[in-house]
A and B are shown apart, each in its own frame.
Chain A
């Protein structure tokens, strides 16, 4: 049954993994997301649903455990924060290349390097432009509440299996650590071994005698075949771009100026919209939910409707703003505002940036 609870974002995500009918979670501790594995260990999901939880020796091992389990048709997840996500990139590239379904979360902290344990959104490029090597994409979901930390686990697994693709929940230290009310979805039973074999004939579950063997690999030494494989991947990414874009428009109907933001920056920008309207400035919020696919078409359409300027608000020195510029394509003014390195901007700072960089600029 669905249940109302007060939880931290990381805990809601962990609880949702169990409820989503996941078969396994492999992880390695790092602030600010260690609550995920701590919650899972404390909950004994093995007794609740039969789900496996294992603390790996590193993020590299964890993502490769995910590769193995996903390649054998199971529903698996890992999570980490920025430095750990960097370590996983080779594995993610392999997962994308071998077309395996998996879900992982990045509760982003400030960088570069060891950086800080405070929240950040500076992993946007890594998340949306590849991260690992090769021509691949992944679906990126950006929760802006504890509720979405839970809901996107369910949605993320569905998308991962629908497209056989890695799906990333790109969160940040604010969303991961804050407590909010959350309505937890009804538990979904784990698939039985027989159901897995039937639903996922590509998975390595042991070859029946006299049938074709299944191979999970990202390798093809024939470059022409590799090009064909890449074309197939690109066709999949195009389909995702057409069908899976998600965003939310707040106070946009009569807006003259738009904040573009995701995650905790969207929550802050929402408050900035209120402050702006109180001053008579017609501001609205274009909240991104999927970062890949990016809502390029909708943003361009909004631009044509007479928006005078877009302010990209993100806790980075300016990464998402590049996609906003590409979408708007010169048809309106675009500027960036954001504190970074672990500093979280205030709604007042955001409004001031709109006034200075867009309205007055």
Chain B
């Protein structure tokens, strides 16, 4: 056993999968079972597969993925909390031929940054927004997010979210789909291999839209678990997500090619 090296275990002919070169070798700072890592990886795979590495500038938010620039091996900027769509606008307007995307959590995108989100979407900025909705503030220790479900517990709604006092969860994705400036709006998940494949296809479509100069924002929501914040094991968190988050935040395309999908 002790004589076997890693190289011997993974013989080139046995290699079925390699990490995209657009992810660095840095160990991810995310909790085991968190969706952020998968969302990073498939985003970077899409950029590599579309050959957009040299043209792409990414924007990291404030939230658990604040260090996305440590993991994504492309040019990156780190934005103030909620301001990533404005930062993306600034870059895209002066470098219109570049590919610009923001990667944001729900607190970042749908609470403090709602204004920047709505207006970037309404102006029809030709950018991609990847939105991780885990229904909670992960980074700061599990406080209530704009997306926290009615009755759901968090450290600032310890007895459950009382919508009469704390307001209702915001379906920001449905909201931006109504704006003329969005071109592609979809809601996906990354907790099963099938969902990962679907989400990757959605992210690919989003980047293709921008590459092809399609008018408007391509907006990809990924409903994801925050097992630490929800205080569950990763497995329980995924089950809870399927049973509670998906009924409220149903998966699927909401707007394709600038047209709302008829349900």
B75 in contact with A205 (CB, 8 Å): yes
Contact A204 to B76, CB < 8 A, known contacts A61-B86, A68-B86: yes
Q: Distance in Å from the Cβ of B96 to the closest Cβ of chain A? A: 9
**B245 located at the interface, meaning its Cβ lies under 8 Å from any Cβ of chain A in the complex:** no
Q: Distance in Å from the Cβ of B60 to the closest Cβ of chain A? A: 8
Q: How large is the interface on B (under 10, 10 to 19, 20 to 34, 35 or more residues)?
A: 20 to 34
Total of A-B residue pairs, C-beta within 8 Å: 128
Interfacial chain A residues near B116, Cβ < 8 Å? 57, 60-61, 64
Contact A69 to B83, CB < 8 A, known contacts A61-B115, A61-B119, A207-B75: no
**A233 located at the interface, meaning its Cβ lies under 8 Å from any Cβ of chain B in the complex:** no
Q: State which residues 182-233 of B face A: CB under 8 Å.
A: none
**A217 located at the interface, meaning its Cβ lies under 8 Å from any Cβ of chain B in the complex:** yes
Tell me the complex Cα distance, A205–B69, Å: 15
Across the interface, B87 reaches (CB within 8 A) one of A68, A74, A90, A219, namely: A68
**B20 located at the interface, meaning its Cβ lies under 8 Å from any Cβ of chain A in the complex:** no
**A213 located at the interface, meaning its Cβ lies under 8 Å from any Cβ of chain B in the complex:** yes
Interfacial chain B residues near A54, Cβ < 8 Å? 89, 93
Residue of B with least CB distance to A67: B87
Across the interface, B91 reaches (CB within 8 A) one of A62, A204, A213, namely: A204
Contact A65 to B76, CB < 8 A, known contacts A207-B54, A217-B69: no
Contact A91 to B83, CB < 8 A, known contacts A206-B98, A216-B76, A219-B66: yes
Tell me the complex Cα distance, A217–B75, Å: 11
**B242 located at the interface, meaning its Cβ lies under 8 Å from any Cβ of chain A in the complex:** no
B78 in contact with A68 (CB, 8 Å): no
B95 in contact with A219 (CB, 8 Å): no
B90 in contact with A57 (CB, 8 Å): no
A65 in contact with B77 (CB, 8 Å): no
B90 in contact with A213 (CB, 8 Å): no
Tell me the complex Cα distance, A60–B75, Å: 24
Tell me the complex Cα distance, A52–B75, Å: 23
Interfacial chain A residues near B237, Cβ < 8 Å? none
Interfacial chain B residues near A66, Cβ < 8 Å? 90
Interfacial chain A residues near B77, Cβ < 8 Å? 67-68, 71-72, 204, 215-217
B90 in contact with A217 (CB, 8 Å): no
Q: Distance in Å from the Cβ of A148 to the closest Cβ of chain B? A: 27
Tell me the complex Cα distance, A216–B74, Å: 12
B90 in contact with A65 (CB, 8 Å): yes
**B157 located at the interface, meaning its Cβ lies under 8 Å from any Cβ of chain A in the complex:** no
**A192 located at the interface, meaning its Cβ lies under 8 Å from any Cβ of chain B in the complex:** no
**A208 located at the interface, meaning its Cβ lies under 8 Å from any Cβ of chain B in the complex:** yes
Contact A208 to B54, CB < 8 A, known contacts A67-B79, A213-B75, A217-B77: yes
Tell me the complex Cα distance, A92–B75, Å: 22
Contact A24 to B80, CB < 8 A, known contacts A57-B116, A68-B87, A213-B75: no
Q: Distance in Å from the Cβ of A304 to the closest Cβ of chain B? A: 46
Q: Distance in Å from the Cβ of A75 to the closest Cβ of chain B? A: 9
Q: Distance in Å from the Cβ of B222 to the closest Cβ of chain A? A: 23
Tell me the complex Cα distance, A58–B23, Å: 35
Tell me the complex Cα distance, A193–B98, Å: 12
Contact A214 to B90, CB < 8 A, known contacts A61-B83, A91-B83: no
Residue of B with least CB distance to A203: B75
Tell me the complex Cα distance, A24–B95, Å: 11
Tell me the complex Cα distance, A301–B91, Å: 47
11 contacts between A and B (CB under 8 A): A64-B79, A64-B83, A65-B90, A67-B83, A68-B59, A68-B79, A90-B80, A98-B78, A206-B53, A206-B56, A216-B76
Question: What 12 new A-B contacts, CB under 8 Å, besides A69-B94, A217-B76?
Answer: A24-B94, A56-B86, A64-B86, A64-B90, A65-B87, A67-B77, A72-B94, A72-B98, A76-B94, A204-B75, A206-B98, A208-B54
Residues of B within 8 A of A (CB): 53-57, 59-60, 66-67, 69, 73-80, 83, 86-91, 93-95, 98, 115-116, 119
Residues of A within 8 A of B (CB): 23-24, 26, 52, 54, 56-58, 60-62, 64-72, 74, 76, 90-91, 94, 98, 193, 204-209, 213-219
